[in-house]
Amino acid sequence: MSRRSATRQYPDVSPNLPPRSRGVIALFEENCTVCMLCARECPDWCIYIDSHKETMPAREEGARARQRNVLDRFAIDFALCMYCGICIDVCPFDALFWSPEFEYAEYDIHELTHEKDRLREWMWTVPPPPAHDPNGEMSKEVAAAEKPPLPGGGPPGGGRPGGGRPGGGAAREPRRVGDRVDTARDGGEARS
């Protein structure tokens, strides 16, 4: 109240935005598998996707040919988009990202539907993810990879997924039944 208000001269002076601000949605086309999750979960139905199937030849003798979806069109109508970010959150293949670009105004509202080429251009303005906290907890995957090998010299878990057990599940603790320990679930015999 005691200071004079200062008007930012926007077109001539660019604003200082936070580094991870939400401006526009960028598309990394190579990661898109045309799973349609983003289009289905969009509350405004502003994502348009078209694709076709291609048959991939078999890699080995006796194997069958596979089909894969090829992206033909990926468009977002920013006149309808409410910038909620649900499409980015539900994408399981990291194909959609927030870009801090915000200057994409048009004179005609119909030109606010941007195709995959324009969405791809914004991909190069996406900032890198923030660095990990050095004092934070290590991820489960890294912790499992850094476990020391077992005394027998093999890798942790016996080299098998599921902890070295033939059934693939993790070993269970024996349960007490009365005054005896029941290990019959793990293939052993009950002992008292």
The class of domain 24-54+67-123 in CATH terms is: alpha beta
Position 147 pLDDT exceeds 90: no
Summarised one tens digit per residue, pLDDT across range 53-83 is 999 888 888 888 889 999 999 999 999 999 9
Average pLDDT, the chain: 81
Position 167 pLDDT exceeds 50: no
Boundaries of every domain in the chain: 24-54+67-123
Summarised one tens digit per residue, pLDDT across range 89-115 is 999 999 999 999 888 889 999 999 999
| Residue whose pair of structure tokens reads 């599940």 in the numeric block | 169
Phi, psi of 116 (to 5 degrees): -65, -25
Look at residue 50 in the predicted model and tell me its pLDDT. Answer: 96
In 19-177, at which residue ranges do the beta strands (DSSP E only) sit?
24-27, 47-56, 66-77, 96-99, 113-114, 175-177
Residues in contact with 8: Cβ distance below 8 Å, sequence separation at least 6, in sequence order: 15
Q: Are 22 and 58 within 8 A, CB to CB?
A: no
Look at residue 40 in the predicted model and tell me its pLDDT. Answer: 96
| Residue whose pair of structure tokens reads 């996406």 in the numeric block | 126
Summarised one tens digit per residue, pLDDT across range 131-145 is 777 888 877 777 888
Summarised one tens digit per residue, pLDDT across range 148-166 is 776 765 555 444 444 444 4
This prediction has a pTM of 0.63
